[in-house]
Structure 1
Amino acid sequence: MLRRRRNPDRTARRIDAFVGTLVALFMLALLALGTFAAVQAVTRANTESIYDLLAEADLTGADMPVITIGVRDGLPGIAERRPDGTYKGFDVDVALAVAKYLKFPPEKVRFASIKIGRRVEMQGQEGSRFVPVDLVVAAFSITQPRKDEGVTFSEAYLYTRQAVMTLADYDGTLQSEGDLRGKKICTLTGSTAEPILVENEITYIGRHTLNDCIAELRNGKVTAVRSDAAILAGFIVRDPGDFKAHDIGPSAWERWGIHVGHTTVPVSEARRKLVDAALYELVRSGEWQRLYDAYFSRAQPVVGEDVQVAVGQPPTIAKPGFRE
């Protein structure tokens, strides 16, 4: 049988066509990569960076050598001023973590005690002197009335509920709002507990600090103290055997947020974005869980199983939409 001879010209043309296709595909790939890189460059150019936001939030430069943060005082486990002038507690550690994200190391963080009635206006105290603060991290529940007053809140960093605390030897039943009627309760003036007591026609007295309420409780002037369970837990842990917590039934979540500035102040929105990003990082890194375990998981067995101190699951916070 005769073998058919290949046509050299046809073979060459096939090779040329194949090479041409490869070159075309290579060029298309380069074009696609170039387009992708260009889109990425434009996206980065159009996306704020953390440094853009820090400048917009007025948290950089020589005019900002330290950041001043308002925290509550006299709340064991939450925020308490120690004899040496330093502060300790869950809120304090959250505040330090937020400040670190904002490029303020611990030595550039100044704490000022802030009373419950001064949180909205962001006025802390150093001795007898009032000082403006840059952030308020002070067991401050996110509510619509407070937003209406102009408070710009971060995302919530802790969920808890209200409870009441009596002396340990109290043998009555306190399991609902109705059980509180006919008794005298002490709570903080301006707290979220106050309107609930009014609505349920419960007799109460308002005080500026929980330590004042506890003094009334020890003196027999009130039956119970009402506040957030996470706050009451600190007193029960501090003075074991003295107090008892009571679950008064379902209530709205107390969602603690950070007050970053009045809604009329231009820097507030940038600060909110930054603080939310700091809280996201606090959760993502596992630091939130470590703090929760250090302060609240240890407190729960002392408080008892009837009252949940706080939600142990990290809060859900959206990933920041700006460049680091």
Structure 2
Amino acid sequence: MKVSQAGAVAATIALALTTSGCGGNDDAKHTIPIGIKFDQPGLGYRAADGTFSGFDVDVARYVAKELGYKPSEIEFKQVFSADRELLIQFNEVKFVAASYSINDKRKAKVDFAGPYFLAHQDLLVRSSQADITKAEDLNHKKLCSVTGSTSAENVKSNLAPKAELLELPGYSECLVALQDSQLDALTTDNTILAGYAAQEGNQGKFKLAGLNLSKENYGIGIKKGDKELQKKINAALRKMEQDGSWEKFVKANFGAANYKNEPAPAITEGS
């Protein structure tokens, strides 16, 4: 699934570049394309009416403002976990703010600004479940995560080698399977899980297991070597924390799930 999805994205981008003769950004238009998730309530979510909401959306808008762009000049583009590096490398987006955990494998292909948030891997289970209280309980359970996510790699390599892991394109598909009892748990960052648990229609159906299975430092993904943009985004992130906007965004997007967040992390990328 990883190869086919990434390959399809690469082919689509290559075709766009061939037909347009450019890297996807029109310098004649003062707009900024930003990659976000469209299916993560609380982080990056596109509603049926076309409006966007979530913590990453708020962060992206704040950063874009500090870079000199008005809200009307922002073009949000959907990204999936497996194609974020491709979209950055092919100039389809200026930056990516999409629950994008910083790690060495990704830093070989792109650079990051930040981090701007510290999350932890956790599990979302049905409210009636009581048989998953520690990492070892994942063995012999049916789990779901998203193709290309660090959560899936963590489960396979470190936590529960005997777990039956199903990787799907998006978290929405995992949630449907969990609700229908086709799975025992959905694993990813607790921010994403909290967003789904707090979403209207889901309240009372699901719960977080409360397991801090990893540390996920969210960063802003940018093209490798763009030190000027990295410096500007880091400055925006520092200002966002200092003027109280960071705390406001956290409460607005995760408050309904009684989510207990970590303090804003120190910015380390580019320093």
TM-score, reference length from structure 2: 0.82
SS in 2 for 1:198: helix
Q: Which residue of 1 aligns with 2:264?
A: 314
Q: Which residue of 2 aligns with 1:136?
A: 96
Which of 216, 219, 236 aligns to 1:257? It is 219
One-letter amino acid of the structure 1 residue matched with residue 184 of structure 2:
T
Distance 2:261 2:87 in 1: 26
For residues 165-200 of structure 1, the C-alpha deviation after alignment (integer angstroms, 9 at most, x for no partner) is 11111132x222211101110011111111222123
The Cα of 1:210 is off from its aligned counterpart by 0.5
Tell me how far apart the structure 2 counterparts of residues 215 and 83 of structure 1 sit (CA, whole Å): 18
Instruction: Tell me, yes or no, if structure 1 residue 213 matches structure 2 residue 177.
Output: no
In structure 1, how many angstroms separate the alpha carbons of the residues matched to 2:255 and 2:198? 12
Match of residue 226 from structure 1: 187
Q: Is the contact between residue 114 and residue 220 of structure 2 (CA under 8 Å) also seen in structure 1?
A: yes
Rg (Cα) greater in structure = 1
The equivalences for 1:25-64 within 5 A come to 62-64=27-29
Give the secondary structure class of the aligned counterpart of 1:116. Answer: coil
Change beyond 3 A, Cα 1:309–1:211: farther
1:245 corresponding residue in structure 2 = 208
1:98 aligns with 2:63: yes
Describe the SS at the equivalent of 2:118.
Answer: strand
| Distance apart, 1:284 and its partner CA | 1.4
Q: Which residue, 105, 108, 112 being the options, matches 2:73?
A: 108
Structure 2 runs not aligned, ≥5 long: 1-25
> In the alignment, is the contact (CA less than 8 A) between 1:160 and 1:309 conserved in 2?
no
Corresponding residue for 1:155?
Answer: 114
Large movers: runs of 4+ above 4 Å: none
CA deviation map 1:208-258 (0-9, x unaligned):
10111111112222100001001000111111111111023x433111000
Partner of 1:17: none
**TM-score, normalised to structure 1's length?**
0.70
Give secondary structure in 1 for the equivalent of 2:251.
helix
2:254 to 286, 290, 296: 296
- 1:204 aligns with one of 165, 173, 190: 165
Residue 86 of structure 1: CA displacement? 2.1
Residue of structure 1 equivalent to 2:150: 192
CA drift at 1:84: 2.3
Q: How many angstroms apart in 2 are the aligned matches of 1:233 and 1:290? A: 17
Q: What is the CA deviation profile of residues 4-54 of structure 1, one whole-angstrom value per residue up to 9, with x for unaligned ones?
A: xxxxxxxxxxxxxxxxxxxxxxxxxxxxxxxxxxxxxxxxxxxxxxxxxxx
Q: Which runs of 5+ in 1 are unaligned?
A: 1-60, 124-129, 301-307
Quote how far apart the aligned CAs of 1:131 are.
8.3
Say which structure, 1 or 2, has more relative contact order (CA 8 Å, 6+ apart): 2
Measure the CA separation in 1 of the matches of 2:167 and 2:264: 32
| Contact map agreement 1:122 1:135 (CA 8 A) in 2 | no
Count of equivalent residues = 240
Which moves more between the two structures, 195-204 or 228-237? 195-204
Given that residues 283 and 315 in structure 1 are in contact (C-alpha distance below 8 angstroms), is that contact kept between their aligned partners in structure 2? no
Please say if 1:84 is aligned against 2:49: yes
Question: For residue 45 of structure 1, what is the aligned residue in structure 2?
Answer: none
2:236 — aligned with what? 278
Does the Cα contact within 8 Å between 2:118 and 2:217 map onto a contact in 1?
Answer: yes
SS of alignment partner, residue 187 of structure 1: strand
Match of 1:119 among 72, 84, 97: 84
